[in-house]
Chains A and B, each alone.
Chain A
Amino acid sequence: MFQILVVEDDKDLNRSVCSFLNRNGYEAAGCLDANEAYDAMYENSFDLIVSDIMMPGIDGYEFAKTVRSLNENIPILFMTARDDFASKQRGYRIGIDDYMVKPIDLDELFLRIGALLRRAKIAASHKLEIGRLRLDIDERTAVYDGGEISLTTREFNILYKLLSYPGKTFTRTQLMDEFWDAETNTAPRAVDVYMTKLRGKFENCGEFEIRTVHGLGYKAVIL
């Protein structure tokens, strides 16, 4: 069972988040400030941290920075009332993984925690498994039902990205920016060609499907 640390100075909010997570299959521990959280982390190992920013004493940024310096991989999710871009930017620069603005929707928190944990697991094992499909990051290979499907590096990277965020739509430009060199003058439509190729190669794979979203972009849907 995943252990989650909730650092939030408001007692009621802390308690409600913890009991919600506990009821949904996680084991959550609540701390009211950063020092308490350090103690808890000393005694227990956690899989994910949910933290406020504005707290008495050590604030969330400070706390996240310290945690990040000790553990590079633990997912940190900020849950804060600050909705300006500068605060978000500062958080992501420190190395947090997700950011939610209060008042938060508990169902959404649950979904995001699930996604963060899944990605953390992929990152730790360097493998992505969906049913009979297996992607190995180190070797850049895709194996389906025992047989290898040959992919170019770019095809592999795109597929890997889509499958790491199932259900999330990426625009062509987002994919271009990430997987094509900045200097190549390829039109965003080049992405379409890759999607066609990927769809062809995984025609027989019933585990996922690449969907076009209204001319806006692409997403992988796990079936």
Chain B
Amino acid sequence: MKADSGFRRFLFSLRSYTAFFLLMSFVITCCMLLFLNMLAGSMEITYTERGVRLAAVVTFVNVIFLSLLCTVIDGVRRKFMVERPVRRIVEGASRLMQGDFSARIEPFHGIDDRAGFDTIIDYFNRMAEELSGVETLRTDFIANVSHELKTPLAVIQNYGTMLQSPVLTETQRMEYAKAITEQSRRLADLITNILKLNRLENQQLYPAAKRYNLGEQLAECLLNFESTWEKKNIDIETNIEEDVFVESDNELLSLVWNNLFSNAFKFTEPGGTVSAELKTEGDYAAVRVTDTGCGISPETGRHIFEKFYQGDTSHVTQGNGLGLALVKRVADIVGGDISVESEVGKGSAFTVKIRRAANGDTQEDS
């Protein structure tokens, strides 16, 4: 039934027939008027009433026939050139809609008439590709979250049980209690990060742009780690250009600096160096945080901004693999750019570039 009505609708439709009829009538009338006028002017032909009447009928029938022919040809053309690709796209889209992220549409590669459809199909396929990527990421994310949450919990539970044993030396008791504290701290950090990331990803965020002194913010953020570098005996180098202003959300950006510094201090061994640098590069302010830690292999570097990606899969160094995902997310929100350079065993350098605000005090901006 569908095919039947489809056939009728596409090979002969009254609407397109009427349209073609009017078009033909108009075109032929115009042509004839032009032709006859010129003919009459140059050759002095006179029309007899009978001859004109007959010519009118013949022409009218001709118009009707041509319109019909055009309608059918157009119907056939549409059938093959429009209806088929549309159907194929609709099928693909509905598969995707039902959650089949492997749905792809085969392109036509036909004559250029179909190039438009091929573009649509190409975009559709790319969209499907992206979606399936997101889907994998989400499944991985849940698996990772549960793993990361359950591990410290299991440790806490075990040590809690062990602590209940009446025969424990004082050292053992201290050791277990310390392990519990450490693991709960790790769990707390993780949950804080998950919540922050979640807030950043799910909220429609309009960063509150405010003009402020970036160097000052960097110095203040770095100073939050004073006790850490004193405890670990890490050397600090600073090279912060004065009076560099940016117009951005300072709370969001402080998240970036805190995470970068926290990583730098985490991965730098005692006796190492962490340096913070702020320079202006044209219209941009470039912040560079360098450490002399374990470094990152190029392979790891490619994935480092993904959630729960940890270069060190054995989890020897504390961390939860969310910090840099947060940093990346914030950089995206504020329109910044983040990159990493690293060499295994030598250390890493993270560079964040943000467009800087016009400097109010000094007008010597080039």
Q: Is A56 an interface residue (CB 8 A)?
A: no
A158 to chain B, nearest CB (A): 17
- Which of the candidate stretches A7-15, A63-71, A192-200, A212-220 sits at the interface with the other chain? A212-220
Q: Is A85 an interface residue (CB 8 A)?
A: yes
A187: chain B residues at CB < 8 Å are: 242
Q: Is the CB of B242 within 8 A of A171?
A: no
Closest chain A residue to B236, Cβ basis = A214
B192 to chain A, nearest CB (A): 7
B238: chain A residues at CB < 8 Å are: 214-216
Q: Is B262 an interface residue (CB 8 A)?
A: no
A174 to B213, CA, bound (A): 11
Interchain Cβ contacts within 8 Å, total number: 36
B332: chain A residues at CB < 8 Å are: none
A216 to B240, CA, bound (A): 9
- In the complex, chain B residues 216-271 whose Cβ is within 8 Å of any chain A Cβ: 216, 219-220, 222-223, 226, 236-238, 240, 242, 251
Q: Is A3 an interface residue (CB 8 A)?
A: no
Q: 1/0 per residue A101-122: CB within 8 Å of B? A: 1010100000000000000000
Q: Is the CB of B220 within 8 A of A214?
A: no
Q: Is the CB of B184 within 8 A of A171?
A: no
A173: chain B residues at CB < 8 Å are: 213, 216, 219
Q: 1/0 per residue B174-216: CB within 8 Å of A? A: 0000000000110010001000100000000000000001001
- Whether A103 touches B184, Cβ cut-off 8 Å, given contacts A171-B216, A214-B236, is yes
Q: Count chain B residues whose beta carbon lies closer than 8 angstroms to a beta carbon of A.
A: 19
B209 to chain A, nearest CB (A): 15
- In the complex, chain B residues 20-49 whose Cβ is within 8 Å of any chain A Cβ: none
Q: Is the CB of B220 within 8 A of A171?
A: yes
Q: Count chain A residues whose beta carbon lies closer than 8 angstroms to a beta carbon of B.
A: 17
- Whether A216 touches B213, Cβ cut-off 8 Å, given contacts A85-B251, A188-B242, is no
- In the complex, chain A residues 76-128 whose Cβ is within 8 Å of any chain B Cβ: 83, 85, 101, 103, 105
Q: Is the CB of A83 within 8 A of B222?
A: no
B183 to chain A, nearest CB (A): 12
A78 to chain B, nearest CB (A): 17
Contact partner, B219, options A85, A101, A185, A217, Cβ 8 Å: A217
Closest chain A residue to B229, Cβ basis = A214
B53 to chain A, nearest CB (A): 89
A188: chain B residues at CB < 8 Å are: 242
B361: chain A residues at CB < 8 Å are: 185
A178 to chain B, nearest CB (A): 13
A85: chain B residues at CB < 8 Å are: 251
Closest chain B residue to A185, Cβ basis = B361
- In the complex, chain A residues 139-177 whose Cβ is within 8 Å of any chain B Cβ: 169, 171, 173-174
Q: Is the CB of A213 within 8 A of B226?
A: yes
B278 to chain A, nearest CB (A): 12
Q: Is the CB of A216 within 8 A of B222?
A: yes
Closest chain B residue to A105, Cβ basis = B185
A214 to B242, CA, bound (A): 15
A86 to chain B, nearest CB (A): 9
Which of A's residues lie within 8 Å of B, judged by CB?
83, 85, 101, 103, 105, 169, 171, 173-174, 185, 187-188, 213-217
18 A-B pairs whose Cβ atoms sit less than 8 Å apart in the complex: A83-B196, A103-B185, A103-B188, A105-B185, A169-B223, A169-B226, A171-B216, A171-B220, A171-B223, A173-B213, A173-B219, A185-B361, A213-B226, A214-B237, A215-B238, A216-B219, A216-B236, A216-B238
With A169-B223, A171-B223, A213-B223 known, 15 other A-B pairs at CB within 8 A are A83-B192, A83-B196, A169-B226, A171-B220, A173-B213, A173-B216, A174-B220, A187-B242, A214-B236, A215-B238, A215-B240, A216-B219, A216-B222, A216-B238, A217-B219
